[in-house]
Chain A
Amino acid sequence: MAKTETFFDVQMPLYELEAVYLACYSFLDRAYIRLEGDPKKKVRVRVKSKEGGDAAALAGEIENELIHQSLRAKTASTNQKIREHIITLALASAQGGAPEPADICAGGEAPAPAPGGKEDNLLDEELEAEVDRLLAEVEKEGGEDPLNIAAPWEEAGEKTTVKKKTSRKNKKGKKKHAAKA
């Protein structure tokens, strides 16, 4: 008969405690989970299956989820700068005008010195250039904005209603006819 209780140890320098929490959290509906130990060395995860399921199988699944969450956290921290940059650009462009590098820092504070020094700055510049290039590409492709999506709500007003659109099309048609004539 399968055991309903088991445990496994997580070597902490390999995983972050946050990843352990997240992995365990996704199994709270299937198991009773208890943690103990030193987050700097080793954390023991005790698993007790609900409804008499196989605890060893559940523990295996949790360990897999732990790897998944760990990778996810690593990817998130790697992409943090580019995500922040994209959001800043998006917010700044929504307010009108491209942001100056000084505007990116909240409250006009001077940017914090990069821990990696020159290499980090170079990477930042490369990322910024890449984001700018992508945004320019998007603008070039969809710059026409036929649905008037880019216009603020107040300005767009009733222009976005179907009636107005059809009337605009009719006007264009009339203009074409007039030009031909």
Chain B
Amino acid sequence: MRLKLDARVYSVEAVREAAEAFQEWASFIVSKAGKDIRVEARPAGGPLGAGFEDEFCNYVLGAMRS
């Protein structure tokens, strides 16, 4: 799974926090390129579910609050 998040509204810290929370299901590479935060997820076991990306984004948004 490859994902781009807008770095102007999301912080890298929040994305890393989400990656840490989801590391049971995938391993993550988080990088910043210009206005984007790029996330690359490689499944740890079986394939990632359909809602994985959306759940991940929701988690990042939740982490922004803290």
CB within 8 Å of B: which residues of A? 17, 21-22, 24-25, 28, 32-39, 43, 48
Contact = CB atoms under 8 A, between A and B. Distances in A.
Given A21-B64, A28-B62, A37-B8, 17 more contacts: A17-B9, A21-B61, A22-B65, A25-B61, A25-B62, A28-B58, A32-B51, A32-B55, A32-B57, A32-B58, A33-B57, A34-B5, A35-B9, A35-B10, A36-B5, A36-B6, A37-B9
Contacts of B58: 28, 32-33
Contact of A43 (B9, B54, B57): B9
Interface residues of B, number: 14
Q: At the interface, is chain A mostly helix, strand, loop or mixed? A: strand
B65 A33 contact: no
Nearest to A25: B65
25 contacts: A21-B64, A21-B65, A24-B61, A25-B61, A25-B62, A25-B65, A28-B61, A28-B62, A32-B55, A32-B57, A33-B61, A34-B57, A35-B6, A35-B10, A35-B61, A36-B5, A36-B6, A36-B9, A37-B6, A37-B8, A38-B8, A39-B8, A39-B9, A43-B9, A48-B54
Contacts of B9: 17, 35-37, 39, 43
Contacts of A24: 61
Contacts of A32: 51, 54-55, 57-58
A36 B51 CA distance: 19
A32 B54 CA distance: 6
Nearest to A40: B8
Nearest to A24: B61
A34 B54 CA distance: 8
A44 to B, nearest CB: 9
Contacts of A36: 5-6, 9
A131 to B, nearest CB: 31
A100 to B, nearest CB: 37
Contacts of B65: 21-22, 25
Interface string B48-63: 0001001101100110
Nearest to B59: A28
B33 to A, nearest CB: 15
Contacts of A17: 9
